[in-house]
A and B are shown apart, each in its own frame.
Chain A
Amino acid sequence: MSYVIEMRHIRKEFPGIVANDDITLQVKQGEIHALLGENGAGKSTLMNILFGLYQPDAGEIVVKGRPVKITSPNVAGELGIGMVHQHFMLVDKFTVTENIILGAEPRSGGRIDIKTAREKVRALSEQYGLNVDPDKKIRDISVGMQQRVEILKTLYRGADILIFDEPTAVLTPHEIRELIKIMKRLVQEGKSIILITHKLKEIMAVADRCTVIRRGKAIATVNVAETNPTELASMMVGRDVAFTVNEEPYQPKEEVLKIVDLTVIDNRRVKVVDRLNLTVKAGEIVGIAGVDGNGQTELIEAITGLRKAESGKIFLKNIDITNKPVRKIIELGVGHIPEDRHKHGLVLDFSIGDNMVLETYYRPPFARAGIMNHDKVREHARRLIGDYDVRTPSIDTPARALSGGNQQKAIIAREIDRDPDLLIASQPTRGLDIGAIEFIHKRLIEQRKKGKAILLISLELDEIMNLSDRIAVIYNGKIIDMVKPSETNEDELGLLMTGHKRKGGASHGNEAGE
């Protein structure tokens, strides 16, 4: 058996934590090997060791049969190991070719030989079916294509072992399918791939074998053909996992949110929400499905008062909240779990306790006459941390020090505890592991059961399908169709999201026509 990469008994300790504990990973030549684990399980540490960013405390690495010491990413590069990062490292204003040669510019007589480089890029792109235009500027191409540029970058540098770090996190369903094709093509052409992910579906679709890591230990390496998602999930989490589905009977009550002909323009003065109509009733979850950048963000910003509505009206329980101040809208009963929890949801340098009153700090019992009552703030924080199972060493720990899942739990605790009539959840589980996702989904369904109105925005179609009572498909700033999850499937949604009308027209269900 020839392994292209063997990491034997790798151990890596950080102060207070063993990130990798005797992990052995063996990747065969020409396979797609998935590395599955929850956030913080030790996947990234292991890959950073392989990529030369960290040095292992114990264990050895064998590349193509030869024991090696990978002391820097340059050494990794020379060994043919390339990393496709989750966060692209591209210069916006440069062309594809310029980005690819950056740091390894071919020279002829002191000048950069861009012509040869472009030809090489084009040839590589063709060989692997990447379909990238070498002359386009990065800012003008889609996220999916930017990722293919990252892939090209590693190929250009002669990599034959490619590490993909959570590659689908930023992609649309269509782009994910494209990526899967590309990965298979790469393997056909003799490359080997390590795929870091916590998405079971992708592993089932693309990987040959899968190594599961939990709390720094390698649990098992399995042939994907001989396993199933449930087994993988329980190996990853260490217990049986229930995939949450919205099962309570659907009994919507009065309208809580009503949006009429809403038009919003973005910072470039482009109309991104275009005469949009939408209602959300008490006791229902309305999911918004759409390709990223079709007006979802601006729609939410308009509802929450963060962005001006150009025209149209937004009503909350029959009160006109169009262009009201953010605080007023919050006080009227809107909860908001923002898309970007670091930028918009938390003050990372504040303690977790202080973050729990980010919207209510000025009201009794937390403050009277402008003077804060820190005892009450702490009491409140302590209760929420307990109720919502936020794992933190103390309420004085800065929010920055918490894991992503616990940060999100803290935000959800804060928003739900205010008992809002309308809860807007934007990408509430992005980047979280299965345990946290399960928890958050349960909480959302609980709110629905309590008769709250929930607007769920997500790029994960699974999430939309499992939780929503109704799915509003947004395209080009309009709700172009309204479907029930029981009456549709991911493929149809995928088509709708890219602007295709349903067979038989959008005659029924469209909000605009109600």
Chain B
Amino acid sequence: METKRANKWINALVPVIAVILGLLVGAVIMVISGYNPFEAYGSIFQMVFLTPYYAGETIVTMIPLILSGLSVAFAFRTGLFNIGVEGQLLVGWLASVAFAIHFADWPKLVLIPLCLLVAALAGGLWGLIPGLLKARFYVHEVITTIMMNYIALYSTNAIIRQFLYADGERTPLIPDSASLSSNFLSNITGGSRLHWGILVALLGAVIMWFLLWRTTLGYELRAIGFNPDASRYAGMNVARNIITSFAIAGGFAGVAGAMLGLGTYHYMSINASFTGIGFDGIAVALLGVNTAPGVVIGAALFAALETGEVSMQSLGIPNDLVEIIIALIIFFVASHYMIRWTLDRFKKGGAAR
């Protein structure tokens, strides 16, 4: 019991320390480059927490990041690397927008849930393919999901050009009946694009937690993630669970796409390159140690730093520096072994005294 509690404590502490180290090294870099780190971090803090508009925009950025992080974390619990969030997100985005435009005259209370469902199904289907290939033919999911990303990027672009093209290199706007935007939320955040999607994202986190920890499916997926051999010996169908896990992970990513379509932009643009949300999701999942609450916190931090870029720029600090800090945090999270080792040393030293 004692050790378990201590382990949990360390597990939670490691990402926190990683973030602090990232910020510290970032500060050192700022000092070397001749900028004042206190000013820089202070301005980020002020912007994100004290300026309603930017607070709202931070949450807007956070919404798809949460879902993207959940997607990566969920797959990872089954021992799978979902590098394909980007592609699953794009097909989910397009599916939700297309559905919304096609059934524009349906009532809001029906249309929005259906749009989300369609996005989840589209993303899930996109995730199903690498899942199937992995389960049946042992094709490594990292390769297939990366390829599926490119297929998604260019196919969605082609479909928009062919069937849903509007001026400005994008689809037409979705109808109001499918919009998650809210005048109320916008007003209290100084006119930001804040929308009800935050509830969807938080619900997503609850769903992930529930699936993993309260259902037999979650038990199976976790068992397989830890030890596929023992799971097979115990009578679990490993192949089927790999497919299921990928489909559910894809579903989360698909809904992340719907957040962009129904909430942030109200359309889907023709993308020259990836959104980056899918890849950030990997970092968010890593930072959140693959737990639902951790992913929410990790997404909040990433979103805050991204909003912070604007304030840093206003101080004349190049926004590359924010990217460097984000990279540093990821670096320190990834080197959690190092932090853990140091913590253990401290613990031992304390015990000896």
Contacts and interface: CB of A to CB of B under 8 A. Distances in A.
Contact of B233 (A331, A336, A354): A336
A330 B235 contact: yes
A338 B237 CA distance: 18
Contact of B230 (A304, A327, A331, A346): A346
Contacts of A15: 348, 351
Most buried by A among B217, B218, B235, B348: B235
B226 A343 contact: no
Contact of A343 (B2, B4, B219, B230): B230
Given A15-B348, A354-B219, A394-B1, A327 B227 contact: no
A397 B144 CA distance: 37
Contact of B227 (A306, A343, A359, A393): A343
Contacts of B234: 326, 330, 358-359
A330 B232 CA distance: 12
Interface string A52-69: 000000000000000000
Interface residues of B, number: 26
Given A15-B351, A347-B227, A396-B1, A370 B217 contact: yes
Contact of A344 (B214, B230, B348): B230
Given A354-B219, A372-B214, A326 B233 contact: yes
Contacts of A348: 226-227
Nearest to B347: A15
Contacts of B226: 347-350
B216 A345 contact: no
Nearest to A414: B234
Nearest to A328: B235
Interface centre among B3, B230, B232 (most CB of A within 10 A): B230
A401 B229 contact: no
Contact of A326 (B217, B227, B232): B232
B344 to A, nearest CB: 10
A198 B242 CA distance: 42
Contacts of A362: 216, 220
B36 to A, nearest CB: 44
B177 interface: no
Interface string A332-353: 0000101000011111111000
Given A370-B216, A370-B217, A347 B231 contact: yes
Contacts of B1: 393-394, 396-397
B193 interface: no
B314 interface: no
A185 B71 CA distance: 62
Contacts of A229: none
Contacts of B297: none
B334 interface: no
A347 B230 contact: yes
Contacts of B220: 361-362
Contacts of B2: 393
A270 interface: no
Contacts of A361: 216, 219-220
A325 interface: yes
A362 B234 CA distance: 12
B118 interface: no
B223 interface: yes
Nearest to A15: B351
Nearest to A373: B214
Nearest to A330: B235
Contacts of A354: 219, 223
Contact of A396 (B4, B222, B231, B236): B4
User: How would you classify the secondary structure of chain B's contact residues: helix, strand, loop or mixed?
Assistant: helix
Contacts of A393: 1-3
B219 A372 contact: yes
A175 B294 CA distance: 54
Contacts of B216: 361-362, 367, 370-372
A347 B222 CA distance: 9
B233 A306 contact: yes
Interface in A287-345: 304, 306, 325-327, 329-331, 336, 338, 343-345
A327 B240 CA distance: 14
A349 B233 contact: no
Interface in A235-280: none
Interface string A397-412: 1100100000000000
A177 B265 CA distance: 78
A397 B235 contact: no
Nearest to B3: A401
A345 B232 CA distance: 10
Contacts of B214: 371-372
A336 to B, nearest CB: 7
A331 B4 CA distance: 34
A120 B294 CA distance: 59
Contact of A397 (B4, B223, B230): B4
A424 to B, nearest CB: 11
B219 A349 contact: no
Nearest to A401: B3
Interface in B1-55: 1-4
A120 to B, nearest CB: 40
B227 A349 contact: yes
A280 B287 CA distance: 54
Contacts of B271: none
Nearest to A368: B216
B209 to A, nearest CB: 13
Interface string B313-353: 00000000000000000000000000000000000100100
Nearest to B235: A327
Contacts of B229: 343-344
Nearest to B233: A344
A350 to B, nearest CB: 6
B289 to A, nearest CB: 14
A327 B219 contact: no
A306 B237 CA distance: 11
B208 to A, nearest CB: 15
B215 interface: yes
B72 to A, nearest CB: 19
B223 A358 contact: yes
- Which residue, of B216, B218, B234, has the highest number of chain A Cβ atoms within 10 A? B234
11 contacts: A325-B235, A326-B232, A326-B233, A326-B234, A343-B227, A344-B230, A362-B220, A371-B214, A372-B218, A394-B1, A396-B1
Given A350-B222, A359-B234, A370-B215, 17 more contacts: A15-B351, A304-B233, A306-B232, A330-B235, A343-B227, A343-B229, A343-B230, A344-B229, A345-B233, A347-B231, A348-B226, A349-B227, A370-B217, A371-B216, A396-B1, A398-B4, A401-B3
Pairs of residues from A and B, 8 with the lowest C-beta to C-beta distance, nearest first? A327-B235, A358-B234, A326-B235, A349-B226, A344-B233, A362-B216, A347-B227, A359-B234
